[in-house]
Amino acid sequence: MQPNKTKAKLKSGETVFGCFVRYPDASLVEVLGFQDWDFILFDGEHGPLEPHHILHMASAAELRQVTPIVRVPTNQPPVILRFMDTGVQGLHVPLVNSGDDAERAVRSVKYYPRGNRGLAGVRASDYGQTIPFGEYIEQANAETLVVVHIETTEAVERLPEIVEVQGVDVAFIGPTDLSHSLGFPGETGHPTVQATFLRIAEIVKGSDAALGIMVKDAEGARLWRERGARYIAIGLESLLSPAVRDYLKAVHNTDAG
């Protein structure tokens, strides 16, 4: 199992940057890996990705020493097991609304003695070909990263207990879902929504967890870095669409001239 460079940077106080990908294509991940990403996040919640896609995508990320991470569709141990067995080194868990939810997520990611994840000779353990299982589970427990999504009003109210759960590395703001839960769907700039974001940041600041956030552009990343976020992700579409628009605008203007 490779060292988790993203987790190491977070633990040393650095800021890490990653890209959400929801398309089942290992070649796309490999191309992204040539850029200076800390992690690439495979979206198994809002997209068609299944474990057999992610197995190959994780391999492609590792070729470029980028940390492979997956967002699962639900906080259920059998689901988490299948995604983690692909060899990803981190997990995003949606809709974590309490300390009990966070504890269940951590236990699903970690092996004995911290958790109850099933153990087998799968890709995550190098198919049982390299080191004894006892050594592997120690490595896996140390290297795997647990990211819990804070995206409901209940999660905000119970955030102090969530970030106290041992093994929660990142409390991640889900801006769109949280705006929905607050009664302002998609209005992430609404004063009530923004005030809630800042409340989350303040609570996380007093814990051992890092603050995570989904941003739309570089300006948002800079803003949230100033607010204390150290785990910053952006969607591939947010990068691709402006670049394509700028290109087409430029070439069309050239034609017109």
Q: For residue 24, is the peptide bond before it cis, meaning its omega torsion is within 30 degrees of 0?
A: no
Q: Is residue 156 a contact partner of residue 149, using CB atoms and an 8 Å limit?
A: no
Q: Global pTM?
A: 0.94
Query: How many domains does the chain contain in total?
Result: 1
Residue 257, pLDDT above cutoff 70: no
46 is catalytic: yes
Length of the chain: 257
**Three-state DSSP state, 215:** strand
Domain range spanning residue 92? 5-256
Smallest CA-to-CA distance from 166 within 211, 209, 135 is with 209
Half-sphere exposure of 94 (CA within 13 A, CB side): 15
pLDDT score for 255 = 59
Residue owning tokens 């890709």: 123
Read off the pLDDT of residues 51-78 as tens digits, 9 standing for 90 and up: 999 999 999 999 999 999 999 999 999 9
Residue showing tokens 């890209």: 19
On the question of pLDDT at 256 being above 70, the answer is no
CATH of the domain at 123: 3.20.20.60
Catalytic residue, chosen from 46, 56, 92, 149, is: 46
In tens, the pLDDT along 139-168 reads 999 999 999 999 999 999 999 999 999 999
